[in-house]
Amino acid sequence: MNLKQLAAIKAVEMIEDGMKVGLGTGSTAYWAIQEIGRRVKEEGLRIETVATSQASEDLARELEIPILPFSEIPHLDLTIDGADEVDPQLNLIKGGGGALLREKIVASNSDKLIIIVDESKSVETLGAFALPVEVVPFACEWTLAALERLGCKPEWRVKDGEQFVTDNGNYIADCRIERIEDAPLLEQQLNRIPGVVDNGLFIDMASIVIVACSDGTIDVRNRK
């Protein structure tokens, strides 16, 4: 069993009958959805869910996890998702899977955001992982130039030789910052740029971070 799967199983233990649950996106969230599907099938777990990406929604339907339209779920009890980096204050970089906007919308409408990672994602300071910024296509060259002026060293994300397009029809600029000294300030500066939809800094949003360690232990970190 890999570390991501270990962390996912621990997180899914926190889901109770009757809960409304947000399903994250990416390689770690994949294992959480798999474990939720197992509980639904084998334990008769009764929940309602929404998904942060088409890929996660498709997987949930395949596993017969009840998926509802957002219009039918006003609020979520918890969301389980992964992260690309997490610092000691439980601030995050997310968006490596390209679903940062949907993930942030779902997380902000959840009573709890449970993040699952392996120990390689735990860092002292955010920034080694390139920070994703979602950008509207209109005049995107100007938005990229504004990111450059901010010192973000942005590069358009490419997939299969073509510019990556999110489920929302937007582009992703991956910003090579290396070390983010003031993550809350940078989040505000990025979102003030016209053309930026949102960015992958999740500040003061995670309630619990579950870290699977290479020695087989699980480190559960709660927001203070």
Q: Show which residues are catalytic.
A: 103
According to the annotation, is 82 in a ligand binding site? yes
| 106 neighbors 74 (Cβ within 8 angstroms) | no
209 to 11, 157, 217, 218: CA distances (angstroms) = 9, 27, 14, 10
Kindly give, in sequence order, each residue whose CB lies less than 8 Å from that of residue 13, ignoring residues fewer than 6 positions away: none
The verdict on whether residue 26 carries a ligand-binding annotation is yes
- Annotated binding-site residue? 25: yes
Strands 92-93 and 201-202: antiparallel
Asked whether residue 28 is marked as a ligand-binding residue, the answer is yes
Instruction: Give the orientation angle of helix 27-43 with respect to helix 54-62, to 10 degrees.
Output: 30
Q: Is 27 annotated as a binding residue?
A: yes
C-beta separation of 23 from 80 below 8 A: yes
- The answer to the question of whether 79 is labelled as a binding residue is no
Q: For residue 86, which phi and psi values (nearest 5 degrees)?
A: -140, 135
Nearest Cα neighbor of 98 from 198, 185, 187, 191 is 198
Residue 167 marked as a ligand binder: no
Q: Is 183 annotated as a binding residue?
A: no
Is 22 among the annotated ligand-binding positions?
no
Residue reference for tokens 């489920």? 167
Do the annotations mark residue 95 as ligand-binding?
Answer: yes
Query: Are the CB atoms for 37 and 60 separated by under 8 Å?
Result: yes
Q: Please tell me whether 195 is known to bind a ligand.
A: no
Residue numbers in the known binding site for substrate are: 25-28, 81-84, 94-97, 121
Q: Which residues are annotated as a binding site?
A: 25-28, 81-84, 94-97, 121
